[in-house]
Structure 1
Amino acid sequence: MTNRPGENYSYTNNFPYDPSVGNTPIPGALLWSALSLIVLLAGIAIVLLMFGKFDYLGWISTRQHVHPHLLPGQASAGQLALVKFFVVMALLFLMQTLVGGAVAHYRADPGSFYGFQLEGLFPSNLMRTWHLQTAVFWIATAYVAAALFLGRSLRKDEPGWFAGWVHLLFGAFIVVIGGSLLGEWAGISQMLGQWWFWLGNQRWEYLELGRLWQYLLIVGLLVWFAILVKLVQPHILSEPSTKLLVSLFLLASLAIPVFYIPALFFGAKTNFTVVDT
């Protein structure tokens, strides 16, 4: 540890925490951390108070009655089919949380996991990979399901094909999510031989999933986008006033699969500087 000139703490205010080398929090760091949290919460409270008290600032208005678009009633077959997406999203979020705890434990005690040699079955680099990939997957799953639910709410009727395509899309998501997570484990465990890049782990940040799963994910997201366009098309034709907003919603949806496409233009031996850029 290198202390600042004339001080008894380091240039980073004794961060990261490591008592074995004298890195313990200084009083100033604790004070300003607490004050920053208090100011953040107070600022949020003031904003909510102002927007709630003065109707011309916020979402409350006494001048007109707002009719909700999502009226209570019987859920359609397509809406019920979307429920399982949110169940998977919750499970992925739980898995990310547990894996994140394991990663933190590996840093604190890399030799054992409460007496079990967990690192022999799930090494640290695999847990870090799963921690990032489960985050990508639960966010993508939530976005896909929420967009379809919102698109369905824009129309009064439900097309007969909608529920079937939701089931098919869900099956494709399960294959990609399960296959890629298992492939990453098998690839890092040296079980895939020369197929590690295609079925296992590409070993690029945010793109740890094998190249085959990346192709399937892009295809699945493009199919999802096509379903979304077909779903909201009648609303665009019948409600020209909302065409701009719905078009922006569709462009944001298209950006999700397009985000993955540029990564197809580099391989396992591409220069790291090119890939990282």
Structure 2
Amino acid sequence: MIGYHARQGAHEPQPVPASDPLLGTSATPSMKATGKYFLTVIGLFLAQIGLGAITAHYAVEGRAFFGIPLADVLPYTVTRTWHTQLGVYWIATAWLGTGLYIAPLLSGHEPKLQRLGVNLLWLALLVVVVGSSFSGWLTAMHKIGVDRSFWFGSQNLEFTAPGRFWQILLFAGLLFWLLLMGRALWPALTRPSESRGLIAMVFVSAICIGLFYASSLSWSAHTHYSIIEYWRWWLVHLWVEGFFEVFATAVIALIFTRLGLVPAASANRAVVFSTIVFLFGTISTSPAPPPP
């Protein structure tokens, strides 16, 4: 990197905006509606911390929490599953809310009924989080039979614990989020501008986030565990880590260009290079597919 910049010679100074470009923008109704997403993120994050503390304390007292027989109601399998699964939920909720907030900001366009869509998606996320967590508790407490637990209970897989019914609902919600993102970003994607490449990277990563969760639907209740683990690995490391990292990098690069801190051309190159590092590093360390 040092050699590359040395060969480029002197750069023209980046023009400094007279005022903060972001402070001059006014929030649209759908942008204001995303506030509840970030409050939800805070709640899920705090719940994850609390469940982690309970799970760790079980290693000391076994089935008790400071003398309280908490494991009778919340056994170790439930607290640990909720602890790991809530991490996925709050990360996903944070980036879904971020995408819905910045899409009208980038395009300057508020699609019709966008606020309603943002609110409906938030309600759907709550249904999935609460419903999948409660059904997981029912499974651990033997309230749901083995035959139905795969669909409506818990699959007992780390980071992909929800039953198939809840996975399908989450996948449908991600597709709906992708629709909301596309509607809001489309004017910016079709309008020639210096930052259109960055906006396109945001939208492409949003497409990958929306569609790649389908890998969690690749196994059935009777699939061999080695094959399940193979697809679960792709879901955890490419969906949670790879594509969300690309999305985050593109969003941050766009913010920097709007603030006048980085030229759009440099930001484009940085995002493409980071994408190669994220995805190539993830794919190159993927496990070998199981034998047929």
Mapped pair 1:245 → 2:198: yes
Residue number in structure 1 paired with 2:102: 150
Instruction: State the match for 1:64 in structure 2.
Output: 15
In 1: Cα distance, 2:26 partner to 2:212 partner: 36
Q: Give the corresponding residue for 1:130.
A: 82
Q: Find the residue that maps to 2:156 and give its secondary structure.
A: strand
| CA distance in 2 between partners of 1:265 and 1:64 (Å) | 50
1:243, 1:63 → 2: CA distance? 19
Name the structure 2 match of 1:82.
34
Taking the aligned partners of 1:87 and 1:120, their CA distance within structure 2 comes to: 31
Q: Quick one: distance in 2 between partners of 1:254 and 1:80? A: 24
The structure where helix makes up a greater share of residues is 2
Deviations 1:86-123 (A, max 9, x none): 11111000000000001110112214211110011111
Which of 195, 212, 216 lines up with 2:169 in the alignment?
A: 216
Within 2, Cα distance between the matches of 1:106 and 1:262? 33
Please say if residues 107 and 186 of structure 2, whose CA atoms lie closer than 8 Å, have aligned partners that are also in contact: no
1:168-207 equivalences in 2 (<5 Å): 168-193=120-145, 194-207=147-160
Q: What pairs with 1:7-26 in structure 2 (closer than 5 Å)?
A: none
- Choose the corresponding residue for 1:227, options 180, 194, 197: 180
Q: Distance in 2 between matches of 1:232 and 1:99?
A: 38
Task: State the partner residue of 1:42.
Answer: none
Higher radius of gyration, 1 or 2: 1
Aligned equivalent of 1:21: none
TM-score w.r.t. the length of structure 1 is: 0.74
* Cα distance, 1:62 vs structure 2: 7.0
Deviation at 1:73, TM superposition (A): 5.7
Which deviates more from structure 2 when the two are superposed, residues 244-253 or residues 172-181?
A: 244-253
2:73 is aligned with 1:121? yes
Query: Are the structure 2 counterparts of residues 63 and 263 from structure 1 closer, same or farther at C-alpha, using a change threshold of 3 Å?
Result: closer
How high is the TM-score relative to the length of structure 2? Answer: 0.70
Q: CA deviation at 1:255?
A: 2.1
- The alpha carbon displacement at 1:259 in A equals 3.1
Gap regions ≥5 residues in structure 1: 1-60
Q: 1:225 to 1:72 in 2, by over 3 A?
A: same
SS at match of 1:201: coil
Q: CA deviation at 1:240?
A: 4.1
Unaligned segments of structure 2, at least 5 residues = 1-11, 231-292
SS at match of 1:207: coil
Match of 1:271 in 2: 224
CA distance in 2, matches of 1:72, 1:64: 18
Amino acid corresponding to residue 246 of structure 1 in structure 2: I
Q: Which runs of 4+ in 1 moved over 6 A?
A: none
**1:257 CA drift (Å):** 3.0
Match of 1:92 in 2: 44
CA-to-aligned-CA distance 1:38-83 (integer Å, 9 cap, x gap): xxxxxxxxxxxxxxxxxxxxxxx97621354423465321122111
SS at match of 1:260: helix
State whether residues 236 and 242 of structure 1, in contact with CA within 8 Å, keep that contact through their aligned partners in structure 2.
no
Mean CA deviation greater in 164-173 or 245-254: 245-254
CA, structure 1 residues 105+141, in 2 after alignment: closer, same or farther (shift >3 Å)? same
Alpha-carbon distance, 1:150 to partner: 1.1
Quick check: 2:63–2:75 contact (8 Å CA) kept in 1? no
- The whole-number CA distance in structure 2 between the counterparts of 1:169 and 1:127 is 26
Percent identity reads 30
In structure 1, the partner of 2:246 is none
1:260 Cα deviation after fit: 2.2
Q: CA separation in 2, counterparts of 1:268 and 1:206? A: 17
Structure 1 vs Structure 2 CA RMSD = 1.8
The question of whether the paired residues in 2 share the 8 Å contact of 1:70 and 1:153 is answered with no
